[in-house]
Structure 1
Amino acid sequence: MAPVPVLALGDVLLVSLQGELHDGMAEQLQQDLSERIATAGVTGVVIDISGVEIVDSFLGRVLAEIASTARLLAARTVLAGMRPAVAITLVELGLTLPGLTTALDVDRALELLSQRGR
C-alpha cells in the first residue's frame, strides 16, 4: 500500500486523494501531514477530494482531525473538489467538518490561502 503523495507548493502542501482511501492510509496521511507541517514551516494544506467517490464517517473524522492538528500547528486547511453527492452524504451523516474551509477546486483553494495570508 503506497502512501498518499503530498506535494509542497512553497509553504502549502497539496494532497490529492484518488479513489478509495483505506482507514490505515488515512491515518498514515494524518500522521505524515502533521510531521510535515511541524518541520517544514507549512502555512496551508489543500486536500483535493475530487477523485473520491465516497467519504464515510471515518474519513470525514480524519479530515476534520487533520484540520484541527494543522490549526494547532498554525496552518490552515482547505478541502477542495467536493462532489455534490459527497456533500449530501456528509450532511446525511451529520458530519460538519469543523475547521475545514471548502473550495470548489484546487485553484480556488490556493487563492483562499493566499488571500488569508495578507
Structure 2
Amino acid sequence: MRFVIFPLGRAQAAPSDQLDHELARILQVPSATRSRIGRGQYLTASEHNPIGQLEEALKDILAAEPVHKRLSDAMGKKLSFTRLDILAQKRSGCWSSDPGRSPNSEPCRREPPAFYQRG
C-alpha cells in the first residue's frame, strides 16, 4: 500500500530532535516569539478553558523556580521539582510542627493543600 501511495518514497524527512527541543523551549519560556504564536488566543484561566489553565500553571511554575533553587542549594543536592511543597515541609518542618512560624512566610502554610492530604 505504501508503494502505491508513495511510489518514489517519502518526500520529506521528519524534523530532527534538536529542532523539536528548540520548539518546545520556545513554547515553554515566555518570550516575544511565544507571544506572537499565541496572539489572539483566549488565555484567561477558567473552569472551561484548559489552555488558560495551562497558561496559569506555567506562571505558577516560573514563580516557584526560585524557591526550588533555594531548597536545592540549601540541601546540597538536586531535588525533584514535582513535589516542591513536600520538600519545603521536610526542610523547614513548618506546617504543624512549628506553630511559632508565620503562615505567610515562604514556603510555610499551617496545613498542606487539600489535594495532598490522604485519608
TM-score by length of 2: 0.21
Higher Cα radius of gyration: 2
Q: Which structure carries more relative contact order (alpha carbon 8 Å, separation 6+)?
A: 1
TM-score by length of 1: 0.21
